[in-house]
Chains A and B, each alone.
Chain A
Amino acid sequence: MTEHKFPANDGPPSDLERIKEDSNYLRGSIAEGLEDPITASISDDDTKLLKFHGSYQQDDRDLRNERRKKKLEPAYQYMIRVRAPGGVATPEQWLAIDDIAQKYGNDTLKVTTRQAFQMHGILKWNLKKTFQEINESLMDTLAACGDVNRNVMCNPNPYQSDVHSEVYEWSKKLSGYLSPRTNAYHEIWLDGEKVVDSRETEEEVEPMYGTFYLPRKFKIGIAVPPSNDVDIFSHDLGFIAILEDGELKGFNVAVGGGMGMTHGDTATYPQVSRVIGFIPTDKIIEVAETVITIQRDYGNRSNRKNARFKYTIDARGLDWFKNELNERLGWQLEETRAFTFEHNGDRLGWVEGDGKWHLTLFIQNGRVKDFENYPLMTGLREIAKVHTGDFRLTPNQNVIIANVTSEDKDNIARLVEKYRLTEGKHYSALRRNSMACVAFPTCGLAMAESERYLPSLLDKLDVILDEAGLHEEEIVIRMSGCPNGCSRPALAEIAFIGKAPGKYNMYLGGGFAGERLNRLYRENIGEEEILESLRPILLQYAKERQEGEHFGDYVIRAGYVEEVRSGLDFHAVTKS
């Protein structure tokens, strides 16, 4: 265990550092706040701590102004994020989550871009019951949010080969090992016995995190080439599985990626992680822990906007980091091994592997609910009732009905047809490669619509695609309601980041395989300008593209935007 220190040059600790320290390992006064009958909210400090437990306090922003005039507090409600390492859930777990969403939530589920379930609209009075029922389903929400390591992502189709299965096991182990150890979660939600022993040292309660936990959230993903569906370069720490002769040999290690930035603050930027070397398989936990402790000790605890691991590294240089890591490990990373990524999207439809069948369903923006003439939520529930395999949440917000036996395949296919579930084949390839974060009305950070708007924008883009003959051309398009970038917009070939209601910054030129950041093309534009500016580019692309040339590569070659090689020149002024 290395010494716990704050860098001297970052200024006074942010308020959140005080909140964490004073919280008695994430307890705060959450339990008391849940009992207060005068408000459906909890205290500001407690809302920060609640994130570590996997829940955000939100309010229905559609109602906010109206309620203010009515002298009512905002319509406070809670989002709960359920961790599923690698995005795997059993049919029983699916049914439990589905049931909870209907009983306490807003009758919908959101499959997140990090392979977790989100439920929205849960009231304070039902929060504890919800946590308990999630726990009974053998899932949890601890560390789904907060300044800790989050849900560990992993290519969600592990049963396609033994290697996938092995990689999934590692993601589970990582997730478990890096979880906070505090008993606060059990105490507050599960009526666990109170363990408040002053003799207990920090070392005993949180051996890795300590009282301050991390300076900021920390994200880990594991990719299995050639698929980069987990968007490996967007993570603080990425492991790229290296397969030789069908065997898992180890991982390339990539560090310092991240999506978030702040509009108007060029000291913040999205960054792609950089590959620093190779490690044997069994070193993955040791390396992850060591990397995290470096971020714990050096990350900026004064300014949360500059606290992600990418800034820690960029401020000191990659060499500094490699030295620090090698020194702390006491051994050297090996030379990076070769790998190739081909895409970051999902392969929709049925796939056979290892004698089993896997069906990837298209779930627009990850929203599972009963739409008019498209009872998606009911359909998945009915499948869960008979399914003998499991469910996989993909990093592209889709759902895989995995491990279907040959005997069951027809039955599942019948249910798919009955409830009008879809592989998305009738959609444009652009829509199949689209993602949007939640944004309005529940997300407190949203500056513009995202999930509620992208489908209708795509309707209009589809018209242009048809005109250009690009209906089947796979182009990655993503929208985020704010620059924090939950839908990983900075890696998309076409991206929109919300600035104000109806207004977006438009970015072009991300890499099709998620290997390159995009660049700002038009600032603060509405739908009309979006369509006007994209139309000629798409038409021209259709005419001028070279064999196999992706849209993101084309816009750079054609000079619409300059290539972004590092997050550090993301904001550089371009001539366009």
Chain B
Amino acid sequence: MIRDGIIPLPYRRGFFNFKSYMKKCEVESLNLQVMNSPFNQEQTESLNRLLPTLTEAQRIWLSGYLAAPQTIASPVAAGLAVQNTLSSQNEVQTATREVTLLFGSETGNGQTLAEELSKKLAERDFKVTLSSLDDFKTKDLKKVQDLLIVTATHGEGDPPDNALSFYEFINSRRAPKLKDVRFSVLSLGDQSYEFFCQTGKDFDKRLEELGGERLYPRVDCDVDFDESAAEWIEGVLGTLGEGQQAKSAGETLLAQQQAGAGLLTEEQPAYTRSNPFRAEVLDNLNLNGQGSNKETRHLELSLDGSNLAFEPGDSLGIYPENDPILVDKLINEMNWNPEETVPVNKQGDILSLREALHTHFEITRLTKPLLEQAAKLFNNNGLKELLAPGQEEELKAYLEGRDVLDLIQNFPPEELPPGDFIKTLRKIPARLYSISSSSKANPDEVHITVGTVRYNAHGRDRTGVCSGQFAERTQPGEVVPVYIQRNPNFKFPADRDTPVIMIGPGTGVAPFRSFLEEREEDGVKGKTWLFFGDQHFATDFLYQVEWQKWLKESILTKMDVAFSRDTDEKVYVQHRMLEKSRDLYQWLKEGANVYICGDEKYMANDVHETFIAILEKEGGMSHEEAEEYLNDMRRQKRYQRDVY
């Protein structure tokens, strides 16, 4: 298993350093105690009896064996990961720091040099991970020990294409501190360019800024790079070699203690719906390409320090803020003083009127109770009439698509102290969004996928409160109050071999990104089939490159797409399902679970009808039998929905 390039879990996650641990065992004559290990008395005794009798090879085999159920195939693409050390019998190497060797290459020179160095490191029994900068998972950067970067520079000082994402990451606020990281950079370039070797210089500077220690000075190579590159390679090998010799048991111990300390959770308040965590926005982008009719925001929020945990299928609750322009219009309309303070809750907390309307009260939706209370305050006959018995239909129609500004414009109050008025308002309710990331794939982060709601009603352009906030106002660096909303009714099967059918058009695809990210991390390759749809292939294929990657890696087995506005006749996911009815029926017979996420009113019903049609057609069932079949599936939790 290890030889196949699979990295045992403790190595990858960094919460348990097996090598250090083995080294420590040697130092302490392999004497485990309850105090220094996660085992109980009986277990430590058994282990202490067994461990000293093991040969190095046996220990290595055992480590891999124990790690096996939790391991996944190396995520580094195209088999570039080089795992060499464990084939050797050398005792010293078990204390060696890991070398991560990353390249950014435009023409292949950078890659060739990196491969050459990788080979030399492997020959010297270093444990090396080699990949392009962009294939390297940035979340693993925290765990890197010795980081070597070989990079070309492209165009006017720009990073090569396969280094762009990494470059952006490391220069973003998200880049981790690299306190215990040693690094060195080899840059390739062309002196005739103004920004000679700029990318290498940038990396070198930034790694230092992040707290890394430069293990060998950067070398900038011109077109004729052989000599200077060789000099750098020799220099790096030399420095790394010294470390390999000098590494003391004491250092290893210290490192392990530090690693152990990270496991302890500090006392902190639990964040909940009533006590939301103020999450920093890391990224906020529109997933739709130029020319799209749609706007779908992808938000990445930091949960760092929150202790909030979630699983795929769960939702994120967010407390939005009202549009300040709407708030100001409201205040102006009433000639209120925005700075006047008003109580916002029973505990007697006060805020300025403007702040209260901006962050605390719902002003974008009208309800019957609100109008009834307003009627008492407004002294407006028109409003009273609207609430009179027999006007129910008119009232319902009035409430639709109007907000508090409409109310005061349509039924102007005679005199209305703001303190009285806000008592008629309710607190802004949280919005729930299906989480679109896996915390295993993106530790300390949560991603959501939000369709921007925009419409014109009653003579005014309006936006959804939360989606409008994300589309028009929220900038990275700002914070939003969030909490986790568990959803135990939208969970993938415990048996990972159970086939999974996912139907998620539009933003309904969000939770499936989370599930598949998690499967990728866990190395699960059960049968999965995703149906996705939107308006246009070219602009609305949400997370397109990620599905492509998962298809290639067999994390996703099949994918069918329907783009409704690319053809004369509108095509939706249910049409694709019907086209594949035989295969779908086969999957259901094999025990597949079905997950549906997205629009409830149209999509979920149509999809339900489509399953019935498929069961009738392929299974020869009557309509009732088909309904019953789906009901059975629902009872067995094989037919789950997250619809809105």
Contact = CB atoms under 8 A, between A and B. Distances in A.
B547 A63 contact: no
A413 interface: no
Nearest to A264: B223
Contacts of B414: none
9 contacts: A40-B538, A63-B289, A65-B164, A70-B285, A71-B542, A71-B544, A72-B545, A447-B155, A501-B155
Contacts of B127: none
Interface residues of A, number: 27
A397 to B, nearest CB: 27
Contact of A38 (B285, B289, B542, B548): B548
B194 A524 contact: yes
Given A70-B287, A123-B538, A501-B155, 13 more contacts: A38-B559, A39-B548, A40-B537, A68-B164, A68-B545, A69-B285, A71-B298, A71-B544, A72-B545, A73-B541, A263-B190, A447-B155, A500-B155
A75 B192 contact: no
B618 interface: no
Contacts of A69: 285
Contact of A67 (B190, B289, B546): B289
Interface string A56-80: 0000000101111111110100000
Contacts of A523: 192
Contacts of B537: 37, 40
Contacts of A123: 538
Contacts, number: 68
Interface string A438-473: 000000000100000000000000000000000000
A75 B289 contact: yes
Contact of B193 (A68, A71, A72, A499): A499
A70 B288 contact: yes
A35 B164 CA distance: 31
B388 to A, nearest CB: 52
Contact-size category for B: 20 to 34
Contacts of B194: 503, 524
7 residue pairs, one from A and one from B, having the closest CB atoms: A500-B155, A264-B223, A524-B192, A71-B543, A72-B544, A523-B192, A500-B156
A501 B538 CA distance: 26
Interface string B239-273: 00000000000000000000000000000000000
Interface string B528-562: 00000000011101111111100100000001110
A502 interface: yes
A63 B289 CA distance: 9
Interface string A103-138: 000000000000000000001010000000000000
A67 B290 CA distance: 9
A72 B289 contact: yes
Interface string A525-538: 00000000000000
Interface of B: 155-156, 164-165, 190, 192-194, 223, 285-290, 298, 537-539, 541-548, 551, 559-561, 566
B560 A37 contact: yes
A39 B559 CA distance: 11
Contacts of B548: 38-39, 73
Interface string A516-558: 0000000110000000000000000000000000000000000
A431 to B, nearest CB: 28
A45 to B, nearest CB: 15
A71 B545 contact: yes
A40 to B, nearest CB: 7
A221 to B, nearest CB: 31
> Main secondary structure on chain A at its contact with chain B?
loop
Nearest to B546: A71
Nearest to B566: A125
Given A69-B285, A70-B286, A503-B156, A524 B545 contact: no
Contacts of B164: 65, 68
B560 A501 contact: no
B289 A503 contact: no
Contact of B156 (A72, A73, A125, A501): A501
A487 to B, nearest CB: 21
Contacts of A503: 156, 193-194
Nearest to A265: B223
A432 to B, nearest CB: 32
Contacts of A263: 190
Contact of B547 (A38, A499, A500): A38
B538 A38 contact: no
A524 B189 CA distance: 14
Contacts of B156: 500-503
Contacts of B546: 71
Contacts of B288: 70
Contacts of B192: 499, 523-524
A197 B131 CA distance: 43
Contacts of B165: 68
Contacts of A40: 537-538
Contacts of B541: 72-73
A66 B285 CA distance: 10
Contacts of B544: 38-39, 71-73
Contacts of B285: 69-70
B155 A38 contact: no
Contact of A524 (B193, B286, B298, B561): B193
Interface centre among B286, B290, B542 (most CB of A within 10 A): B290
Interface centre among A40, A66, A68, A70 (most CB of B within 10 A): A70
B334 to A, nearest CB: 42
B57 to A, nearest CB: 38
A70 B548 CA distance: 14
A66 B290 CA distance: 9
Nearest to B558: A38
Contacts of A72: 287, 289, 539, 541, 544-545
Contacts of A125: 566
A69 B285 CA distance: 8
Contacts of A499: 192-193
Contacts of B223: 264
A65 B290 CA distance: 12
A502 B194 CA distance: 12
A68 B285 CA distance: 12
A75 B536 CA distance: 13
A502 B288 CA distance: 29
A502 B286 CA distance: 29
Contacts of A39: 544, 548
A71 B287 contact: yes
A73 B547 contact: no
Contacts of B551: 38
A425 B298 CA distance: 54
Interface string A485-504: 00000000000000111110
A85 to B, nearest CB: 35
A69 B168 CA distance: 10
A38 B561 contact: yes
A70 B284 CA distance: 10
A358 B547 CA distance: 56
A67 B543 CA distance: 11
A500 B290 contact: no
Nearest to A524: B192
